[in-house]
Amino acid sequence: MKSITLLLASAAALALAACEQKAPEPPPAELGPDTAEATIPTITPLPEQGDGGVADFYNLAGPAPAKPGTLIRTEAQPEGTSLAEASQAMRILYSSTDGLDGKTPVAVSGSLFLPKGEAPADGFPLIAWAHGTVGIADVCAPSNNPRSERDTKYLNHWLSQGYAVVASDYQGLGAPGGHPYLATRPASYSVLDSIRAVQGDPNLKLSKSVVLVGQSQGGGAAFATAGEAVTYAPDLDIRGTVATGTPYFTNDSAPVVRDPKAVSPVFGYTIYIMYLAEQADPSFKIADYANETAAPLIDSTRTQCFGATAKLIMSDKFSPATAFTKDPTSAIAKYYPLMAYSTLKVKGPVFLGTGGQDKDVPPPGQERLFTDACEAGSVIEHKVYADLDHSGTVNGSLADSTPFVKKAFAGEAITGNCKTPA
């Protein structure tokens, strides 16, 4: 397997525009904790990283349960945040493991949507949805908001096929604590424990089989989840993975480093990555890099969602050159392994969908992921949609991903289209 090359922050921000929305207009290896641990610390809110502003549902009064995947509580999704094809929609709060330290119990929020009709004898098969970038503030949690037009159409499709959908908000979105943006292990643990949480409640009538589905940042999360499942959640029956617009970086697929004077919404992603660095290392401070002029931008990235931040960047013409006193690239480079895949040998077959016109996550990187994952021994079915862009590939790939998911749930053989090694 070829090793993943860690890129410069500005390059990563360009290619990791793994988002549900585009600005300025949003388009429609490590084992889990010892569950017998007696003393469990309470997560300290981080107002400097967007904690707060959400309903009491998201806030756990005491420590999170030691056992990951414990369903803490549920409530109905607020009006306007359900899906038309759902017979029931509920917020969920459950326990997981801090993916940064690999041991501390944390509470994570999300949503569960049940399809219409009677559940099969063994329960509804389950789709675990991994969402794209929304921001890092608690108020940006998908369970706290209506879904984008694109994602609404996409998730309604899976519900119409008779699948239930569990959708993690990810660690630190909604529930207290910083959101480790683009860090693969925290996202993986959050997704895996959302599955455990809902499958563990017999009243929900869910089967034990699950397929992982994600787009962009969520495509990376879904692929990473299929890898982390081998060690963190071997108990789960993961039948396969669907990932579109999936980030992956090597020397020969790296994008050109952006002009630091260029004004672009992707600058917001660089700042999100810097917040990840702050969580991993208390000695790293964004304040050491941002100038006074950038104060509104820094405040926006921690308190508002990506659409608002992107509009601010464009309206006030923010760029690294105008917002920073010094280049943070070398300082944050050491935290890039947090965003890498721990393995390319994943559990179950994988459908990878790539838009040929993807400007957010360049196709060469997605092609390299396909090649390297095949080389590592994964079963990959890769489809390229020549005329579709990053967002368009989500629903544009359904003609191929729908039969893939059906086969995966049925346990039918999926051979993929990996190239035979030379």
DSSP per-residue codes, 198-234: HHT-GGG-EEEEEEEEEETHHHHHHHHHHHHHHHH-T
Would the pTM count as exceeding 0.85?
A: yes
* pLDDT(26) > 90: no
pLDDT in tens, 78-121: 999 999 999 999 999 999 999 999 999 999 999 999 999 999 99
φ, ψ dihedrals at 139, nearest 5° = -65, -15
Range 44-250+343-410: architecture per CATH: 3-Layer(aba) Sandwich (3.40)
Confidence grade of residue 249 (pLDDT, cut at 50, 70, 90) = low
Q: What is the pLDDT of residues 58-68, one digit of tens each?
A: 998 889 999 99
Q: Which residue has the higher pLDDT, 149 or 17?
A: 149
Answer with the residue of higher pLDDT: 419 or 408.
Answer: 408
Whether the predicted pLDDT of 36 surpasses 50: no
With a pLDDT cut of 70, the percent of the chain lying above it is 86
Q: Which two tokens stand for residue 121?
A: 């004898």
- Residue 47 pLDDT grade (very low, low, confident, very high; cuts 50, 70, 90): low
CB-based contacts of 342: which residues, under 8 Å, 6+ apart? 29, 184, 185, 224, 227, 228
Q: What share of the chain is helix, strand, coil (3-state, %, to 5)?
A: 35, 20, 45
Overall average pLDDT of the 341-362 stretch = 94
pLDDT, tens digit (0-9, with 9 covering 90-100), for 356-396? 999 888 899 999 999 999 999 999 999 999 999 999 999 99
Q: Taking 80 as the threshold, does the pLDDT of residue 41 lie above it?
A: no
Average pLDDT rounded to a whole number, residues 24-38: 26
Q: What is the pLDDT of residues 136-163, one digit of tens each?
A: 999 999 999 999 999 999 999 999 999 9
Residue 329 has pLDDT above 90, yes or no: no
Whether pLDDT at 253 is above 70? no
- Sequence-ordered strand ranges (E) for 119-179: 124-130, 164-168
How confident is the model at residue 28, as a pLDDT?
27
Q: How many CA atoms lie within 13 A of 181 on its CB side?
A: 32
Asked whether residue 411 carries a pLDDT value surpassing 50, the answer given is yes
pLDDT band at 421 (very low <50, low <70, confident <90, very high): very low
| pLDDT recorded at residue 29 | 25
Q: In the chain, what's the furthest Cα-to-Cα distance? A: 62
Question: Do 64 and 175 touch, CB atoms closer than 8 A?
Answer: no
Average pLDDT over residues 261-287: 90
Confidence of residue 23 (pLDDT cuts 50, 70, 90): very low
- pLDDT band per the 50, 70, 90 thresholds, residue 177: very high
